[in-house]
Chain A
Amino acid sequence: MDKGLDLRGVTIAKGDRTLISINRQIGPGDVLTIMGPSGSGKSTLLAYLTGTLSTDFRASGQVWLDGHDITHAAPYRRRLGILFQDDLLFPHMSVGANLAFGLRPGGSRAERAARVDAALAEVGLDGFADRDPATLSGGQKARVALMRMLLSEPCALLLDEPFSRLDAELRVQVRDMVFAQAKARALPVLLVTHDAMDRDAAGGDVFLMDDVEAGPDRATARPPG
């Protein structure tokens, strides 16, 4: 079985125009950085990978994850963890409930609570379980979002410029934490960014997007499912 995330001849087009064409393999613990100016279709690729590409686009090729073809799998069965620019914590749930939402089903209530607490402790947020996510600082929110995603036990990580909203100091901190967690879990990582510092920190393979002119990015206009 081939571990890792495998993009086999993935081509996405809108009308007659090809937005991206990529053929890469990301091994466990490796990082592939996709660089390009904003609006160049980076988010389109992520929408395709998560299965939420708008029907305005045409896509061909295959996506394999840990030896399974997930090209046509339902979004919630793909086991691709994703972090966006915004933390997107569910505003109606407490911090702990956000983590429990991500945590795979199974276990008693007490066991689940213990895992949630342990996850919070791991990122230095002991005792935050009952807090309202809206009262957290930007760095704290980013850490909660990261742990929520990791608790869902993804098989690969997609990062959609997740650090660009953080200020410089925090950015380094959060970035190091994300990469360290991915490395520790031997997860393949696909990082989309337009920031050279992110690329250097990731240290892996780099895929440069052409500076093609692209229309308004409506890649995530279609819902999952």
Chain B
Amino acid sequence: MNRRRLLPFVPMATLVLMLGPVLAGLWGTILPAFGQLSAAGLHGPSLDPFRMVFATPGIWQSIRLSVTTGLLSALLSLGIVILIFAGWSGTRSFRLLERLLSPFLAVPHAAAAFGLAFLIAPSGWIARLLSPWATGWGRPPDWLIVQDPWGLCMVAGLTLKEMPFLLLMTLAAVGQTDAIRSMAVAQALGYGRVSGWIKTVLPRVYPQIRLPVYVVLAYAMSVVDVAIILGPSTPAPLSVLIVRWMGDPDLALRLRAAAGALVQFGLVVMALGLWRMGEAAVGYFGSMWLYHGKRGRYDLVGRSFGLVLGGISALAILGGLVVLAVWSFAGFWGFPDLLPAELTLTNWTRHSAGIAQALTETALIASAATIISLVLALGCLEAEYRHGLRIGSRGLWLLYLPLVIPQTAFLPGLQTLMLGFGVTSGQGAVILAHVVFVLPYVFLSLGDPFRAWDAKMGVIAAALGAGPDRVLWAVRLPMLLRPVLTAVAVGIAVSVGQYLPTLLIGGGRVATLTTEAVALASGGDRRAIAVYGLMQTGAALIPFALALLVPALVWRNRRGLRHG
């Protein structure tokens, strides 16, 4: 078939591939949640699955944990980002923080969580740093820091990981507002930095980062891998329970898992509603606050908080990666020694076969999912350019939908549905499941630079006799090499970090670096965890390095593209 005739259908195909699994998964959750599971010979409708959920010991604690950890980490990461921007945008410290934090966007959640655990555990690096001279500890204290019953450690881990994401999204949004001049006016009127920014810039920036904030909230409420690593286990957050129920060989337990998934979905919807009401309340009281005209007396406090918390976050992720690296080469390492007694390659050689296999699987799935997503995203953008086929302002919502609907709500349903249809779970299915999450990020990353390309270049190329395809391949894509490669790197990082889709849709038979690393969490073999965590980080970060390096090399003699 002619590609030119194919192009107009790409946006529709993209929507189907991206939202189809989400909707099918929700459908596949609703049926068993009400007792209907033909594969197990069960027929509804009945409310027994929900009764089973609420009869689980400690279920209310699990539910409370999901809500509190989600809301708290979303509030914290948003708050810190606001303080960093309000207190420091335009300064050297800000650029430093931005540069320190942005690469951490790519660090997989599991690796960041392991790193944090290795830092703050009773036998972690911080305790070693202070022992025995300050603490007097000759051996690790018997404290439950990691996996604390309140989920605070989990909140810390999620905040660390979500902050860089919100920071970058805010950075893009601030670029579209008249922030610098607004701040100049506010400061000339006697407002401090923080109050000036919050009063004049934030009201315009927030609507643009609202969707990313919702993503953070929904994600934090339903995350599984970070919860397994840092969250409490008795009782565990609801999402972990659902996955445990899904893994049970007894098919009847699937009903309970599906009902749990629906409860999770309802919780996220309620939390989003609560957040929305919070936005309205903040807006209402904020406008009164604006009218008061107070110039802000706590400027310095706010600024310091922002810088300190931002700095701690950056150091925590960085320190976590360093301590992972040390553990991966550690021989005997007694407490409270700051460094291992000996460094060795044994840990790496011992796991080399497993790593090679997991790395191959990870790379294959990530490249396939990213290539599919890139082709679809480019197809959509090019269709928009050639045929004016914009998905519309609601398009952005659709793009965010797979990110806002909790994974734990629709992936179990998708798996059950596949089971019902006799579709074998495996690599291909995992790749398609990854596309659901990779595609939105690839699209978001590529959209702005693609649309910002000077369309006059296309006019002049056409006037020189180049058809639309030649304009795309010979002019537009080469000029956009850097953003295209960045989008590829983003896609690979997202795919590498996926835990739940790989686990559930792979039926437990697809072993990537992430699933292997998280599976090690309960065993407590720190050296193995360190090796897998580092590999996972490398697999996500190296594509970013290449995305910077390749255009710099290819266009080393093209000054016009150096800052493009």
Complex: how many Å from CA A223 to CA B456? 8
Question: Which chain A residues border B386 with CB–CB below 8 Å?
Answer: 223, 225
B471 in complex: contacting residue of A84, A89, A154, A224, CB < 8 Å:
A224
Please choose the segment from A57-65, A108-116, A131-139, A172-180 that sits at the chain B interface, where 4 or more of its residues have CB less than 8 A away: A131-139
- The reply to whether the CB of A220 lies closer than 8 angstroms to some CB of chain B is yes
**Contact indicator A225/B462 (Cβ below 8 Å):** yes
- The reply to whether the CB of A148 lies closer than 8 angstroms to some CB of chain B is yes
Identify whether the interface residues of B are mostly helix, strand, loop, or mixed: helix
Complex: how many Å from CA A225 to CA B386? 6
**Contact indicator A50/B467 (Cβ below 8 Å):** no
Complex: how many Å from CA A68 to CA B193? 65
Complex: how many Å from CA A157 to CA B55? 81
Give the contacts of A182-225 with B (CB-CB under 8 A). Answer: 220-225
**Contact indicator B456/A86 (Cβ below 8 Å):** yes
Q: Smallest Cβ distance from A55 to chain B, in angstroms?
A: 7
For B470, give the chain A residue with the smallest CB separation.
A76
Complex: how many Å from CA A81 to CA B479? 22
For B384, give the chain A residue with the smallest CB separation.
A223
**Contact indicator A88/B456 (Cβ below 8 Å):** yes
B463 in complex: contacting residue of A50, A89, A225, CB < 8 Å:
A50
**Contact indicator B561/A152 (Cβ below 8 Å):** no
Complex: how many Å from CA A52 to CA B460? 11
**Contact indicator B464/A149 (Cβ below 8 Å):** yes
For A55, give the chain B residue with the smallest CB separation.
B388
Q: Smallest Cβ distance from A21 to chain B, in angstroms?
A: 23
**Contact indicator B558/A225 (Cβ below 8 Å):** no
- The reply to whether the CB of B340 lies closer than 8 angstroms to some CB of chain A is no
For A148, give the chain B residue with the smallest CB separation.
B464
- The reply to whether the CB of A102 lies closer than 8 angstroms to some CB of chain B is yes
Question: Which chain B residues border A55 with CB–CB below 8 Å?
Answer: 388
- Report, as a range, how many residues of chain B touch the other chain: 20 to 34
Q: Smallest Cβ distance from A176 to chain B, in angstroms?
A: 23
Q: Smallest Cβ distance from B142 to chain A, in angstroms?
A: 62
Q: Smallest Cβ distance from A4 to chain B, in angstroms?
A: 18
Complex: how many Å from CA A220 to CA B560? 23
B474 in complex: contacting residue of A77, A101, A222, A223, CB < 8 Å:
A101
For A75, give the chain B residue with the smallest CB separation.
B462
Give a binary string over B501-520; 1 marks a CB under 8 Å from any A CB, 0 the rest: 00000000000000000000
Question: Which chain B residues border A89 with CB–CB below 8 Å?
Answer: 560
For B554, give the chain A residue with the smallest CB separation.
A92
**Contact indicator A80/B463 (Cβ below 8 Å):** yes
| A76-B466, A225-B462 as given contacts; A220 in contact with B558, CB under 8 Å | no
**Contact indicator B557/A84 (Cβ below 8 Å):** no
**Contact indicator B465/A88 (Cβ below 8 Å):** no
B residues with CB within 8 A of A: 385-386, 388, 454-468, 471, 474-475, 478-479, 481, 555, 557-561, 564
Apart from the given pairs A86-B456, A90-B479, A92-B475, 6 other A-B contacts in the complex at a CB distance below 8 Å: A76-B463, A90-B475, A92-B478, A223-B458, A224-B458, A225-B462
- Nearest 4 interchain pairs by C-beta: A91-B560, A224-B462, A134-B559, A134-B560
